[in-house]
Amino acid sequence: MASEKERATPSRKSKASKSKDSILKQKSPAEFFSENKNIAGFDNPGKSLYTTVRELVENALDSAESIAKLPVIEVTIEEISKSKFNSMIGLLDRERLDEELYGDYETEKAREKRLAKEAREQEKQAKAAAAGKKVKDSNAVKLGKGRGEALFYKVTCKDNGRGMPNDDIPNMLGRVLSGTKYGLKQTRGKFGLGAKMALIWSKMSTGLPIDIWSATRGQSFISYCRLDINIHKNVPNVHIHEKRSNEEGWHGAEIQVTIEGNWTTYRSKIINYMRQMAVITPYAQFLFRFVAATPDKNISIRFARRTNVMPPAPAETKYHPSAVDLLLIKRLIAETLKQNLLQFLQHEFTSISKFYAERLIGEMGPEFTPKMPVKSLTAQQLVRIHQLFRQAKFGEPTGECLSPAGEYNLRLGIMKELHPDMVATYQGSVQVFEGHPFLVEAGLSLGGRDVKPGLNIFRFANRIPLLFEQGGDVVTRTATKRINWNSYKINQVQDKIGVFVSIVSTKIPFKGTGKEYIGDDIKEIASAVKSAIQQCCIQLKSKIVRQQQAHDRQQRKRNLSKYIPDVSRAIYGVLMEMADGQKSKKVKYDDDADDLLKKVALHQITESTFIQKLGQHVEQVDAEMALEYATQSGMVDTAREPIYLRTLESDYKFALELHNPVCVMKLFSDF
Amino acid sequence: MEAPRKQAQAALAFRKRLKPDNAILATVRKIADSAKSYKPQTQSLADLNLPNACKEVVDLSCASVMAEIEKTIINIARSILGGNGFGYSVPSRSSANQLYVQELDRIVLKDKASFRPFANMASVRKTTITTRILQLVHQLCKKQIHVTKRDLFYTDVKLFQEQGQSDSVLDDVSCMLGCTRSSLNVVASEKGVVVGRLVFVEDGDRIDCTKMGVGGKAIPPNIDKVKDMESDALFILLVEKDAAFMRLAEDRFYNRFPCVIITAKGQPDVATRLFLKKMKTDLKLPVLGLVDSDPYGLKILSVYMSGSKNMSYDSSNLTTPDIKWLGVRPSDLNKYKIPEQCRLPMTDQDIKTGKDLLEEDFIKKDPNWHKELEVMVKTKEKAEIQALSSFGFQYLSEVYLPMKLQERDWI
């Protein structure tokens, strides 16, 4: 695995510097990442818990998708109390002897203060209770959580994927950068660290090994392995490795890791992550459970499967000449099976035909020939090739290797998790940034359950949700600054707007160390995002307009009737005055008016007469306009919407078939 | 340092060129005499035989207003009882329906009207408010009392919601009934002030405007109660702003040069325009305008002279044609050596307003005015009346105005 060592730059660097200064220690990749764990998303215990969950979930999805199996994934986070943790590592609980030694020791003064505060609090609560208000029991929460104590969690993730071959398990998990994701391919993983980083974190925070159960398809046994990692040597340290019976014919993997974390602060992030994952992956079934130390805080959320349509697995592709660097060219030459330069250029890159390869070689200079053996190229010659790759013009890569979620899945995902009033989706065409194809899909929803008024932005990169550093992201900037929502009849402040943008690419140009957002400075991506969102807006606009018309129609009668009393009172008021004037013979009116005023004076016409007559008139006008509206819009009140039917999960017995020109309906027999 | 001082000296040199007051008065008297022969505009819309019909309103007595309202109410009551709902035909006051009439030198309203039915989402509110206002005005006329627009608004805040709505419907109502807004017995709260050689009777009280201190007499909102104007003034000085008015009043400018000074503190309200019109007709005095040298100063002059678009239906009662533009004119900035630091660059909005004004008929009709405005738009500089204070606070009353009068420098 020469290529890996080359890629693991940290180790190369330290090797190089070692020759100069022998005091410098060599650092293994595992060590490097353990010391720089923030770049892999392990900044603090809370984030570490979050990242552990996401790495495990993403691995599980990849695994199931790689064998075209609809994913079923179970995630469990189990809270472990201090004493339980101690017993797990075989440490006895010790009583504190010297109380003042501890950071959370309460001095006499602090204690008085706290008691006084608690007394006040109680008094307040008693008052509130007396007033009949509901009281939140805030004290109980405070006492339940130990002060200043590390919190431990056991995270388990079980999938129905490919599983790992028995003998490969230690290396797949116990060695950093020994992953399977090194081709050029649209992948979920950001660093190729995945579960291994979780293992390093568990080693750092709890020292407990991880447990793995795994079976490949058709395998008669389950491999069970308990291992931890030797960080200095970057090798797995296997505790147990055995085969167990597999009576149910299960395949997949289950990984269990015990780490330090913080559920309280990252609870919403983790649940959001699961929810957004369910949006972009509606063909998967997730079961998320949190098992708390006290059962009343347990959480169990099931994200059901809504479709059987799974996007095809992303295909591995070759590099585009404009996307390679010198190191990569060297690696490709080392790995290639092609003998000569012409074949190498033609077969190891996209967008280079045989004819084009010949032209390129001709351009490289006299010392290059099509038939020269590719492995004999000197370093200078490689630089020449690299330079030419930079300067020459190439056809753009096709997007065939990409696997977008698809409008169908995106729409389903949004509908199932948000239950919006309206939704629109759009898939853009493949575009290219620095030799890597990318594709932008967007969804736009209005209204829905648990959606805050204003813009709610959901970002996905290679079909995983991005939750952090939203502010600088190209999607956020585009949605907040460059879309004129008003022109689509959408109120940016009051409407519950869901903006979903999913970008897939063979290389997502992340910004920042945590790879949590895509910069706003890439023109190609920014304009693709903008146009995708706008396309959705245009789709929604016509629906909104039609809905508003329907709404206006419903409101018309109510709004008109609202003014009837005011008008009637005013008219009747003037008529009364006139009638009074007439009675006292001050004023003379013509005959018609005279007749009317007499009726007013005799109370034959009163205010309610006008109210009634106007009411009838409004009703009549309303009916006329409704009829007119219906003839215009073809009797449909709301916009037509496609419906998606869910396939049945298991076999049912059917009795009757009902035929009609559009479809056939089958009735269940066992109901 | 040198240049500004020189400039200031040059400006103050004007003071030396001033002739004795008597000599100045003699020139002013000449023009005052020529104004005596001024005949109020006798031509009316009807005389002109314009191709398009125009809508104009007249002053009506309370009884006639009541009769008009009653006629309207009886009609709509009948329409409702007949099951046909109701609506009002309201003359449109949009700018598309305005017409500048050269012969009359004012804006008039064309006869386009829109029908506002009750049973329509777009017009139900206005129609309801109109009905309510009709009822309220009916009461006012019956009791023969006056209220302000604000009072009117507060009689039914719940329906009117904001004063802008009741105000605009009030104008619609006066258009609809064909009477002036004052005939509806609704007045705007007082805004304008007058000071100087003017004596008149307001509701039986004799008012002497020379004995009004420095604040001046508030112009009564109800012009009907103003009677018996008398004056020994030679001209009327129309001032755009309060500050300049204060200066002139405090310096008792009207005693040095007999005149009446009037201001509406910015955009003129109906009462001030009516009062100016009445003075002009009754006293036959020339009117000299002192406004800022910016597009808004000109706009204000235009409202006094040709009327505002909003009230064009009543332009015959509100406009005072033949106002002379005394200053501060764009050409004055260099002529009177106003220092650079007192001139302001015009904003883009200012320039746009200026350019729009150049296209307006009321500017176009007078080549001198047009030329001045062109100077302003070209130099892109504006100055307020207060810019004259850079030579001393009293420069306005002691040098600038006497100089202007002496030179008969108005257009």
Indicate if the pLDDT at residue A634 is higher than 60: no
Helix, strand, or coil (residue B82): coil
Q: What is the spatial distance between Cα A493 and Cα A444, in angstroms, rounded to a whole number? A: 15
User: What pLDDT does residue A144 have?
Assistant: 41
Indicate if the pLDDT at residue B88 is higher than 50: yes
B216: its two tokens: 């001046």
Q: pLDDT tens, B203-224? A: 889 999 988 888 889 998 888 8
**Mean pLDDT score, A123-134:** 71
Q: What is the dihedral of CA A94, A96, A101, A102, to 10 degrees?
A: 80
**Mean pLDDT score, A405-427:** 89
| Domain shared by B276 and B392, yes or no | yes
Q: pLDDT tens, A243-269? A: 998 888 899 999 999 999 999 899 999
**Mean pLDDT score, B70-81:** 90
User: What pLDDT does residue B332 have?
Assistant: 87
Distance (Å) from the C-alpha of residue B94 to the closest C-alpha of chain A?
Answer: 26
Other residues' Cβ atoms within 10 Å of the Cβ of residue B273: 26
Indicate if the pLDDT at residue B109 is higher than 80: yes
Indicate if the pLDDT at residue A234 is higher than 90: no
Q: What is the spatial distance between Cα A495 and Cα B98, in angstroms, rounded to a whole number? A: 41
User: What pLDDT does residue A226 have?
Assistant: 92
User: What pLDDT does residue A2 have?
Assistant: 41
User: What pLDDT does residue A645 have?
Assistant: 67
| Domain shared by B36 and B80, yes or no | no
Out of A25-29, A342-346, A414-418, B405-409, least confident range: A25-29
- CA-angle at B250, arms to B248 and B253, nearest 5°: 45
Whether A552 has its CB under 8 Å from any CB of chain B: the answer is yes
User: What pLDDT does residue B14 have?
Assistant: 76
A573: its two tokens: 């008021």
Indicate if the pLDDT at residue A341 is higher than 60: yes
* Beta carbons of A617 and B83 less than 8 Å apart: yes
**Mean pLDDT score, A324-348:** 86
| Domain shared by B361 and B399, yes or no | yes
Phi then psi dihedrals of residue A110, to 5 deg: -60, -35
User: What pLDDT does residue A10 have?
Assistant: 45
Distance (Å) from the C-alpha of residue B38 to the closest C-alpha of chain A?
Answer: 43
Indicate if the pLDDT at residue A22 is higher than 80: no
Helix ranges (DSSP H) in A440-522: 474-477
Task: Provide, rounded to the nearest whole percent, the portion of chain B with pLDDT above 70.
Answer: 95
**Mean pLDDT score, B366-372:** 89
User: What pLDDT does residue A147 have?
Assistant: 45
Amino acid at A81: S
| Domain shared by B203 and B177, yes or no | no
Indicate if the pLDDT at residue B371 is higher than 50: yes
**Mean pLDDT score, A616-645:** 71
Q: pLDDT tens, B271-301? A: 899 999 999 888 888 899 999 999 999 889 9
**Mean pLDDT score, B124-148:** 91
User: What pLDDT does residue A138 have?
Assistant: 45
Q: Which of B120, B128, B138 sits opposite A567 (nearest CB)?
A: B128
User: What pLDDT does residue A132 have?
Assistant: 61
Distance (Å) from the C-alpha of residue B222 to the closest C-alpha of chain A?
Answer: 25
The answer to whether position B239 is within a domain reads: yes
Residues of chain A with C-beta less than 8 angstroms from the C-beta of B84: 617
Confidence of residue A633 (pLDDT cuts 50, 70, 90): low
Q: Which of B73, B85, B139 sits opposite A571 (nearest CB)?
A: B73
User: What pLDDT does residue A370 have?
Assistant: 87
Confidence of residue A193 (pLDDT cuts 50, 70, 90): low
Q: Which of B134, B164, B187 is the last residue of a domain?
A: B187
B328: its two tokens: 């501060």
| B192 neighbors B264 (Cβ within 8 angstroms) | yes
| Domain shared by B204 and B338, yes or no | yes
Question: Active-site residues of B: which are they?
Answer: 154
Task: Provide, rounded to the nearest whole percent, the portion of chain A with pLDDT above 70.
Answer: 86
Indicate if the pLDDT at residue A225 is higher than 50: yes
Written in H, E and C, the secondary structure of B214-229 is CCCEECCCCHHHEEEE
Q: What is the spatial distance between Cα B257 and Cα B19, in angstroms, rounded to a whole number? A: 13
**Mean pLDDT score, A186-211:** 79
User: What pLDDT does residue A121 have?
Assistant: 85
User: What pLDDT does residue A397 have?
Assistant: 83
User: What pLDDT does residue A17 have?
Assistant: 45
B45: its two tokens: 């819309």
**Mean pLDDT score, B86-100:** 85
Q: What is the dihedral of CA A411, A414, A420, A426, to 10 degrees?
A: -40
* First-to-last C-alpha distance (Å) of chain B: 35
The answer to whether position B325 is within a domain reads: yes
Residue A237 DSSP class: E
* Beta carbons of A571 and B132 less than 8 Å apart: no
Distance (Å) from the C-alpha of residue A658 to the closest C-alpha of chain B?
Answer: 47
Helix, strand, or coil (residue A303): strand
Whether B121 has its CB under 8 Å from any CB of chain A: the answer is yes
| Tally of domains in chain B | 2
Q: Report the residue of A561, A571, A609 to disrupt the B interface, i.e. the one with the largest count of B CBs within 10 Å.
A: A571
Q: pLDDT tens, B234-261? A: 899 999 988 889 989 988 999 988 999 9
The answer to whether position B4 is within a domain reads: no
* Beta carbons of B73 and A575 less than 8 Å apart: yes
**Mean pLDDT score, B68-91:** 90
| Domain shared by B122 and B262, yes or no | no
Whether A593 has its CB under 8 Å from any CB of chain B: the answer is yes
Indicate if the pLDDT at residue A469 is higher than 60: yes
Q: Which residue matches tokens 């955009």?
A: B267
| Domain shared by B144 and B205, yes or no | no
Written in H, E and C, the secondary structure of A593-616 is HHHHHHHHHCCCCCHHHHHHHHHH
Out of A18-27, A67-76, B395-404, least confident range: A18-27
The CATH number for B31's domain is 3.40.1360.10
* Beta carbons of A570 and B125 less than 8 Å apart: no
B236: its two tokens: 């009327």
Q: What is the spatial distance between Cα B236 and Cα B32, in angstroms, rounded to a whole number? A: 10
Residue A362 DSSP class: H
| Domain shared by B204 and B304, yes or no | yes
Cα–Cα separations (whole angstroms), residue B117 to A76, A566, B198: 66, 15, 49
Indicate if the pLDDT at residue A47 is higher than 80: yes
The answer to whether position B411 is within a domain reads: no
User: What pLDDT does residue A111 have?
Assistant: 82
| Domain shared by B33 and B130, yes or no | no
Full set of structural domains in chain A with CATH: 29-87+147-303 (3.30.565.10), 321-391 (1.10.8.50), 418-544 (3.30.230.10), 560-670 (no CATH)
Q: Which of B124, B153, B187 is the last residue of a domain?
A: B187
User: What pLDDT does residue A115 have?
Assistant: 87
Indicate if the pLDDT at residue B262 is higher than 60: yes
Q: What is the dihedral of CA B269, B271, B274, B276, to 10 degrees?
A: -80
Which range marks the domain in which residue B146 is found?
Answer: 48-187
| Domain shared by B330 and B258, yes or no | yes
Q: Which of B160, B187, B214 is the last residue of a domain?
A: B187
The answer to whether position B1 is within a domain reads: no
The answer to whether position B342 is within a domain reads: yes
Q: Residues of B numbered 78-97 whose beta carbons fall under 8 angstroms of chain A's beta carbons: which are they?
A: 78, 80-81, 83-85
* Of residues B95, B172, B91, the one with CA closest to residue B128: B172
User: What pLDDT does residue A179 have?
Assistant: 46
Indicate if the pLDDT at residue A1 is higher than 70: no
Mean pLDDT over the full length of chain B: 86
* Beta carbons of B77 and A567 less than 8 Å apart: no
Q: pLDDT tens, A608-622? A: 999 999 999 988 888
Cα–Cα separations (whole angstroms), residue B295 to A105, A637, B267, B289, B353: 76, 53, 13, 14, 6
Out of A165-169, A478-482, B39-43, B79-83, least confident range: B39-43
* Beta carbons of A621 and B80 less than 8 Å apart: no
Residue B338 DSSP class: -
Confidence of residue A477 (pLDDT cuts 50, 70, 90): very high
The CATH number for B112's domain is 1.10.10.10
**Mean pLDDT score, B100-110:** 80
Please indicate, yes or no, whether the overall pTM of this predicted structure exceeds 0.95. Answer: no
* Of residues A516, A618, A614, A528, the one with CA closest to residue A565: A614
Out of A52-56, A417-421, B7-11, least confident range: B7-11
User: What pLDDT does residue B6 have?
Assistant: 67
Phi then psi dihedrals of residue A462, to 5 deg: 45, 40
| Domain shared by B104 and B206, yes or no | no
Q: What is the dihedral of CA B126, B127, B132, B137, to 10 degrees?
A: 90
Other residues' Cβ atoms within 10 Å of the Cβ of residue A379: 9
Angle between helices A379-391 and A326-335 (to 10 degrees): 120
Q: pLDDT tens, B305-346? A: 888 887 888 888 888 888 889 988 988 888 888 888 788 888
Q: Which residues contact B85 (CB under 8 A, 6 or more apart)?
A: A614, A617, A618, A621, B79, B117, B118, B119
User: What pLDDT does residue A119 have?
Assistant: 86
Q: Which of B84, B127, B132 sits opposite A617 (nearest CB)?
A: B84
* Of residues B342, B338, B335, B187, the one with CA closest to residue B275: B187
Let me know how long chain B is.
Answer: 411
Whether A518 has its CB under 8 Å from any CB of chain B: the answer is no
User: What pLDDT does residue A293 have?
Assistant: 82
Burial A507-541, CB ≥16 within 10 A → b, else e: bbbbbeebbbbbebebeebbbbbbbbbbbbbebbe
Beta carbon pairs, A and B, within 8 Å: 83
| Domain shared by B384 and B271, yes or no | yes
